[in-house]
Amino acid sequence: MKRPIEVFSVGIDFIQVVFRGRGDHLLRVGEQTIPVSGPLAVATFTDLSPATDYSISFGGRRSATARTLARPAGELLARVATVSDTHIGETGFLHWPRLWSQPNRTRFDDAHPVWALRAAADEIRAWSPDAVAVKGDVSHRDSAAEFRLAISILQTIGAPLLAAQGNHDGGNHRGCDAVAVAAELGMQFDQGVVRHDVRGAAVLMVESTVAGRSSGSIASHMTSARAAIDPEIPTLVFMHHQLMRWPFATYFPVGVPKPEADEFLRQIGSVSKRILVSSGHSHRNRSRRFEGIPVTEVGSTKDFPGVWAGYEVYEGGVVQSLRRIADPRVLTWTESTRKSMARAWGFWSPGRLRDRCFTHPW
């Protein structure tokens, strides 16, 4: 039987759970209760203590347990949110079955990527980050109209936008001069390697998109990435394409080939160990360590499970916590995409809780 409570996300002070069940219920953590209604809802318990075990009860019975993340040592230096693969312009999703979010398949301005990005922007604004990193595939067909809508939504967050192009923004999908169009609209797509100082931390945006290609490359950016990292300042390194773990493609889409991915990680790791590297492109959630450096992939806003990420950078470490976008219309849509790829998407994309949420001490 399907468990009614899934612990989707944890942070140093919150637990986010997904409820799947019938009827109206009260979820309880400690003294806090949150009403939920079936068949699907998200509840977030806040103001919790770090590194503490909590039980989550439903219908008066303990239904799940969760442990909040440890708070790294030292001062909080910066809070950075990320969104990936917003794909504004798309109206369908994947294959077997291909799913459509509205009957008029050409109305991209009222399709699921737009609902998802608007809801993510509202949640991120409420989280009040110091900056938002936009990790590519902002648009779907690389058109000016798509960028206009996407950037207007991202600007509602009210935080500086740091952006890298994805392959849908001028790689194998080419419709306009994405860099020029975005600049006119007030968002800079960083070229090469650009370091942004964000309060007490740094964010390095690395261009991995190559004109004409779906896969990525960062081979030409090793030296500039090394030079841009200050070992005294914790640094978040963001790019569109995932750094591939195996010497051959075991799934699609293909990211940055392993030899140059490993070399890049070795090079930046020789400068500093106070680094986290994260990408998009794969529309899935994963995390691993490469010689002590956390390397993560964070999924799309618009397909299951439908997430954005929050990074809290401390003197003594970094916290990554994904959030499932909780808006009911978005949630219903992202849940429906589980059945794509002959029901494999629902197993492939979400990753484990420890892929999505962790504390990494430097």
Q: 218: burial class by Cβ within 10 Å (0-12, 13-18, 19+)? A: buried
Q: How far is the CB of 116 from Fe ion (least distance, A)?
A: 13
Decide whether 85 or 207 has the Cβ nearer to Fe ion: 85
Q: What are phi and psi of 338, to 5 degrees?
A: -55, -30
- Considering only the stretches 111-119, 135-143, 151-159, 264-272, report the one whose residues sit in contact with Fe ion under the rule CB under 5 A: 135-143
| Total interface residues for Fe ion by CB under 5 A | 5
Return d(Cα 281, Cα 284) in angstroms, integer: 8
Residue of 240, 158, 225, 160 whose CA lies nearest to 198: 160
The residues in 149-178 that bind Fe ion, with binding defined as CB under 5 A, are 166-167
Decide whether 11 or 257 has the Cβ nearer to Fe ion: 257
Selected binder of Fe ion within 281, 284, 324, 360 (CB under 5 A): 281
- Listing DSSP states for 233-259 in one string gives S-EEEEESS-B-SSSS-SSSS--B-HH
Decide whether 25 or 281 has the Cβ nearer to Fe ion: 281
Selected binder of Fe ion within 137, 207, 297, 303 (CB under 5 A): 137
- Listing DSSP states for 97-139 in one string gives S-EESSSSTT-GGGSHHHHHHHHHHHHHHHH--SEEEE-S--B
Q: How far is the CB of 221 from Fe ion (least distance, A)?
A: 18
Asked if 112 touches Fe ion (CB under 5 A), the answer is no
Decide whether 182 or 202 has the Cβ nearer to Fe ion: 182
Return d(Cα 221, Cα 243) in angstroms, integer: 14
Q: How far is the CB of 280 from Fe ion (least distance, A)?
A: 6
The residues in 62-91 that bind Fe ion, with binding defined as CB under 5 A, are 85
Return d(Cα 258, Cα 269) in angstroms, integer: 16
Decide whether 167 or 349 has the Cβ nearer to Fe ion: 167
Residues that bind Fe ion (CB under 5 A): 85, 137, 166-167, 281
